[in-house]
Amino acid sequence: MRPRISRKAFAVLAVVVCLALAGFASYYASRSPDGLNRVAQDHGFDKQQKDHAAGDSPLAGYNAKGVDDKRLSGGLAGVAGVVVVLAFASGLTYVVRRKRDDEPQD
């Protein structure tokens, strides 16, 4: 019988794997347009595209602004994305759990 891994250890391992994938594997992601960008190209309305209001943000275009090395820039942007999503999900989980704990038990 294999030993069971604790929830905390699993969560830490999952975060480490996500950060590693975002930091290292994101460089190898396809540069081809996907989703709505591909549909816009296929139907010819991509030429009407305008600059986004957040186009000058620090992580615009899946790159870290001010970092010249493309691999490092993409990795940093990926890691930052994972951290932001993790923080948002953790905060949402905290709020939902707290609200549930505040409800009277029947």
Give residue-wise pLDDT tens across range 19-51.
Answer: 999 999 887 876 777 788 888 889 988 888 888
In the structure, what pLDDT confidence band is assigned to residue 106 with cuts at 50, 70 and 90?
Answer: low
pLDDT at position 12 is: 94
Question: pLDDT (tens digit, 9 = 90+) per residue, 53-94?
Answer: 888 888 888 888 999 998 999 899 999 999 999 999 999 999
Residue by residue, DSSP assigns the chain as -PPPPPHHHHHHHHHHHHHHHHHHGGGGS--S--HHHHHHHHHT-GGG----TTTTSTTGGGS-TT---HHHHHHHHHHHHHHHHHHHHHHHHHHHHHHHHHSPP-
Residue extents of the structural domains in the chain: 7-49+70-102
How high does pLDDT run on average in the chain? 87
